[in-house]
Amino acid sequence: MSIKKFIPNFVTLLNLFCGSIAVVFAVHNNFVEAALFVFLGVFFYFFDGLLARKLNVQSELGVQLDSLADMVTSGLVPGIVMFKLISISVDAPDSMRVDDWSSTTDFYGLRLVPLALTGFCITLASAYRLAKFNIDEDQQTYFKGLPTPANTLLIMSLPLIMEFQNNAIFNTLILNQWFLIALTLVSCYLLNSNIKLFALKFKNFSFKDNPFRYTLIILSLLLMIGFHFIAIPLIIILYIVLSLLKNLKTK
């Protein structure tokens, strides 16, 4: 059996490995480090599929392994991060310094904030979406609902905005428990909605055939340059809006 058949699966396992490390960091409130390994995991998530297509070694095993790895990196990790953020927001004073929440805290016993368990709805919704995706044969050229990696980037952007941009207005919003719960519910809806979102796979590089893809890429780069990590939620919104416009154009 050719070794090239194992290469995409090895890359998928790297995604799972990165997700596992991100879990450890997220549990200890080290959100920046967790985000770094999530970004690496998402990179491997896209890279394994590309390798499988280029090497022409797509397999059912690879499909299932991909979802299992994605469940950790883009399902469990954002759930833990949201759980932690809601827990922090419950006790957050009006003017909270970044280092008060981003450093590891020593506990003499397990302290559980019941309201924060809402954050794990993201994990449940991600699992449901991945299971649906595996049995849906229609999602070849588009996604039905927000892909789990995109949703994970949305959630992971919250602590990064606080850490690196440290704006009082954004900090207050992000540390508002009701904002976080509302975002959790919106996240769960988007993951399992019937909204058709275009895939970023290029059949060719003609602008005429890919106007929405190129528009998303160009505007995303401009947003990242101008707004840094705040651009991530804006890019997700832009992606949804452009997909809706594309759907209207198709109809």
43-86 per-position pLDDT tens digit: 999 887 777 777 777 777 878 899 999 999 999 999 999 999 99
CB atoms within 10 A of CB 76: 21
The C-alpha R_g of the chain, in whole angstroms, comes to 19
Burial of 8 (0-12, 13-18, 19+ CB in 10 A): buried
Instruction: Using 70 as the pLDDT threshold, list the residues of the chain that sit under it.
Output: 1-2, 92-110, 139-140, 202-203
Instruction: Report pLDDT for 96.
Output: 46
Give pTM, 2 decimals. Answer: 0.88
Grouping H, G, I as helix, E, B as strand and the rest as coil, residue 191 is helix
Amino acid 148: pLDDT:
96
Length of the chain equals: 251
Instruction: Report which of 95, 209, 235, 219 is spatially closest to residue 156, judged by C-alpha positions.
Output: 235
